[in-house]
Amino acid sequence: MTQAHRFQSIDIMKGIIILLMLFVNNIFLPDLPPWLSGIEQGNNGWGIAGWVFPAFLFMAGMTIPFAIQKKINDGFTSYDISRQIFGKSIILITIGVMMVNTYRVNPELTGFSGYLWALLLFFAVFLVWNRYPEKENNFFTVTGFRFLGLAILVFLVFKFKSGSFENNGSLVAGWWDLPGLLGWGYLVSAFTFLAFRNSIAGTILFWLLFLALNILWKLNLMDAIDPVRKYLGVITDGHIPFIMLSGHLTGLILKRFSAKESEKIILFILPAGIIMLITGLLLKINYFKEGLYGNPALTMLWIGIYMIIFIMIFWITDIKNKERWFLLFKAAGENAFTTYFASFFFYNLICLFHFPLFFYKQSGNQLVAFAGSALWALLIIWIISFIIRLNISLKI
């Protein structure tokens, strides 16, 4: 984001969402209360887990207009920016595919456990995409680290085996995991900004297109494009691009005004959020009653809530200047990918060495599980604030 449009509320809300993601990622237990559930495809998705992951996509979409505008201001051509968009999308999609397959590792065929495979994956991610200090004398060191990381990734791809000795299996796409879904959504949203720049009207046209695709897909009216859907399903289903473009549009409104024009920002975003919430709720009650992933009604409802919550945080931090209330979340929000991937690195490291930190998962007591998961999320946030000072921060 450019300095002229630096909104503390964006980083703080991202940090809150990251904390909740770390929490729900670690609390999967049988018989969770409804307000914590919401992951399964067939349920109504009213719990934290049902809305926190789309919230991350929404916030990622909000930052896209600022990030690409900065590249334009820095003199990058459309061709240069297009290459960077494709590059970032491919990186995220590839990481997402590899994350999905961490659970499919066959230790006998691969030669080591899934925990070690995942640990090496995230270690390589940090080697390749760390934001190294820009010093002339560290060029060869940095290049060496990045080549080592790429070599590890290539090794993991060729070493990976799943299944049985008769059918040892290789990497599969399937579910893309959060980074992969983000990669596909980023591809659509970033090129939308490159095409329409700051035009809210032009962006709304694309937003409506993907909402329509989402509805048609949910109604099972997209069978004609099944051959394409096999490869581009995340885009043609409309769901993920719709979420990210909703954040994108919110970002365009913020970008149009400065933080000093707070009344205009609130008058645009708050009513839009209320309309989205009410529309989504009515559609959920009357038409799209079941299902979580890809449900356009539930998605609209949650997007409305995201917009309303954002305005609340915006009012506290950017208008009332009370950002110190949220300092715990700010570093995580400013370094969202670092926090997200580091949490998996430390999780697999702990599991690999059988350190009994996650004893609360086996306790059978929901209160213990809740407290343990909350402390784990806070611990990761604290660790991230420390390692950032060591110049460990991803630039994805």
Q: Which two tokens stand for residue 255?
A: 């970008």
Residue 288's alpha-carbon distances to 35, 281, 300, 302, in angstroms, are 20, 10, 11, 14
Q: Is the pTM for the entire model greater than 0.75?
A: yes
Angle at 335 between CA 104 and CA 200, to 5 degrees: 100
Q: Which two tokens stand for residue 65?
A: 């207009």
Residue 207 has pLDDT above 90, yes or no: yes
- The stretch 114-126 carries a mean pLDDT of 96
On average, the pLDDT of the chain sits at: 89
- The stretch 42-53 carries a mean pLDDT of 66
* pLDDT at residue 28, as a whole number: 61
* pLDDT at residue 173, as a whole number: 74
* pLDDT at residue 360, as a whole number: 82
* pLDDT at residue 167, as a whole number: 62
% residues pLDDT > 70 (the chain): 90
* pLDDT at residue 36, as a whole number: 61
Residue 345's identity, in one-letter code, is F
* pLDDT at residue 241, as a whole number: 97
Q: Are 382 and 328 in contact (CB under 8 A)?
A: no
Residue 33 has pLDDT above 70, yes or no: no
Residue 41 has pLDDT above 90, yes or no: no
Residue 31 has pLDDT above 80, yes or no: no
Q: Are 307 and 334 in contact (CB under 8 A)?
A: no
- Residue 371 burial (CB count, 10 A): 13
* pLDDT at residue 141, as a whole number: 85
pLDDT band at 121 (very low <50, low <70, confident <90, very high): very high
Q: What is the pLDDT of residues 127-183, one digit of tens each?
A: 999 998 876 557 678 889 999 999 999 999 999 998 766 566 778 776 788 999 999
Residue 2 has pLDDT above 60, yes or no: no
Tell which wins on pLDDT, 322 or 163: 322
For the chain, the first-to-last Cα distance in angstroms comes to 15
- The stretch 194-215 carries a mean pLDDT of 96
The three-class DSSP label of residue 255 is helix
pLDDT band at 115 (very low <50, low <70, confident <90, very high): very high
pLDDT band at 316 (very low <50, low <70, confident <90, very high): very high
- The stretch 6-32 carries a mean pLDDT of 85
HEC profile of 364-392: CCHHHHHHHHHHHHHHHHHHHHHHHCCCC
* pLDDT at residue 128, as a whole number: 95
Residue 359 has pLDDT above 70, yes or no: yes
Q: What is the pLDDT of residues 335-349, one digit of tens each?
A: 999 999 999 999 999
Paired residues of 130 in beta bridges? 394
Domain boundaries, the chain: 3-388
pLDDT band at 378 (very low <50, low <70, confident <90, very high): very high
| Least confident segment among 64-73, 161-170, 248-257, 377-386 | 161-170
Tell which wins on pLDDT, 95 or 261: 95
% helix, strand, coil for the chain, step of 5: 75, 0, 25
Look at residues 272, 249, 266 and name the one whose alpha carbon lies nearest to residue 202.
Answer: 249
Residue 81 has pLDDT above 50, yes or no: yes
Residue owning tokens 């420390």: 386
Q: Are 99 and 121 in contact (CB under 8 A)?
A: yes
Q: Are 65 and 252 in contact (CB under 8 A)?
A: yes
- The stretch 91-103 carries a mean pLDDT of 93
Residue 81's alpha-carbon distances to 39, 109, 133, 169, 319, in angstroms, are 35, 41, 23, 37, 33
Highest mean pLDDT, choosing among 25-29, 156-160, 277-281: 277-281
